[in-house]
Amino acid sequence: MVEQSTDWSRADAASIAAGVAEGRVRARSVIEATLARIGRVDPAVNAFTDVTAARALVAADAVDARRAAGAASGPLAGVPFAVKNLIDCAGLPTRAGSTINRERAPAARDGALVRRLEAAGAVLVGALNMGEYAYDFTGENVHDGDSRNPHGAGHMTGGSSGGSGAAIAAGLVPLTLGSDTNGSIRVPSAFCGCFGLKPTYGRLTRAGSFPFVNSLDHLGPMARSVTDLALAYDAMQGPDPDDAAATARAAEPVLPGLDSGLGDLRIAVAGGYFARGGDPEAFAAVQVAARALAATRVVEIPEAARARAAAYLITAAEGAALHLDRLRTRPEDFDPAVRDRLIAGAMLPAPFVERAQRFRRWYRGAVADLFADVDVILAPSTPCRAPPRGQTHFTLDGVSLPVRANIGVFTQPISFIGLPVAAVPVWLDGGLPLGVQVIAAPWREDVALRVARVLERLGIVRAPIAELT
């Protein structure tokens, strides 16, 4: 085989898979180049907590051997990927961003989504930094150090999937997995300038991952292109009896219709709550996308502020219940900011949480009514660009607010009822990126990704690799 001189360490997933399938490059060469780039660049980014080099090379050789034998290469043949370190990787303790969990025995088996990606030919190269126990919007970690934004090292990556966003933006891998409970895929996608998909709640199995809030947790992919999101998403779909929340729906591939355009899709912009409480640039990014899509209709998602408050209550209560024994026996080993919020959650009166759950049922129905008249709703992902690392407060609408608690003001009302969202990055003026949520009705990931793909083809959204080295 005569390999092409392409810099495969910076290639997107679709290009790598095509190159391996067509014999233009060996999977081993891609993985060797990827590992070299991680070794060279990651010290400035701190995206990885574990690099599984030996495992990756063995897996790459297996991909090459299958191709040499004439077997199908798989839709993600040779594509390097990495996962947030709350997803099990055989042989590694599942840290979940904590110091306590790294004392656990190494995982005996990969998480379900890791297995599905590898079955499609992808190659795991490591585990990624994250906020402790996923209770974080900043990307800061007191145990492993902060992940650093490749587009501005002094700025936050967003969290809690901060390492997942940073690894994409730095060009370390073309594909990562993150988790999203209240916004933890969409926030780093905005701050780091990459694409993300928070699927419908229950669409992708969470088996083999460390939980945070069972009734809100999602897993999903992050990438540098919409096509790569679709490739990964399609490879990971399907029922799983090991996750009680996983849907029994059969896989519904999105890649075949990805480039079918807008057709007669009805697209609206979220007004009201989603048009205030942020910097002007956050709303300008939404308007840029809306103009490109000729979306002039404005809809108001009812009681979104109350939905955010209810999501906060449920998050705090369920998170505290999960960690109660650790809080009692090892409080000093938590990040104080995480520990204190979990303790507060443990003290919430049960009737408050019950009322939040009752409201949740009403809110789900009210938003479903909106989707009888529209197919897609556009909203900002975050209220601002990535703040400087270490900043504790910011000013929104003239009010000083805690950063950690308020970055998710626009993401929480959406994940609260498990809607699918394609997170897309918008660059307005050469500064740090902003993000837009492309929100669809339940189980319509295909619609959200079609709209994201149109924006990408128009050049409105893009995910460049930061020029680090």
Active site residues: 84, 160, 184
Plot region of 238 (φ>0 → left; ψ -120 to 50 → alpha; else → beta): left
- Count CB neighbours of 347 within 10 A: 9
- Count CB neighbours of 104 within 10 A: 14
Query: How far from chain centre, in Å, is Cα 78?
Result: 22
Helix-strand-coil split of the chain, %, nearest 5: 40, 15, 45
Which helix (H) or strand (E) segment holds residue 435: the answer is strand 434-440
Provide the residue type at 296 as one letter: T
For residue 17, CA distances in Å to 63, 112, 114, 182, 429 come to 11, 21, 17, 32, 33
For residue 236, CA distances in Å to 75, 177, 306 come to 12, 11, 33
SS3 16: helix
Query: Rg of the chain's alpha carbons, rounded to an integer?
Result: 21
Plot region of 160 (φ>0 → left; ψ -120 to 50 → alpha; else → beta): alpha
CB 29 within 8 A of CB 123: no
Nearest to 95 by CA among 53, 145, 137, 41: 145
**What are the counts of helices (DSSP H) followed by strands (DSSP E) for the chain?**
14, 13
Nearest to 254 by CA among 68, 63, 451: 451
CA 108/CA 93 separation, integer angstroms: 9
CA 419/CA 442 separation, integer angstroms: 5
CB 171 within 8 A of CB 193: no
CB 463 within 8 A of CB 221: no
CB 349 within 8 A of CB 422: no
Phi, psi of 253, deg, nearest 5: -55, 140
Residues contacting 352, CB < 8 A, separation 6+: 313
Task: Give me the torsion for CA of 87, 91, 96, 98, rounded to 10°.
Answer: 180
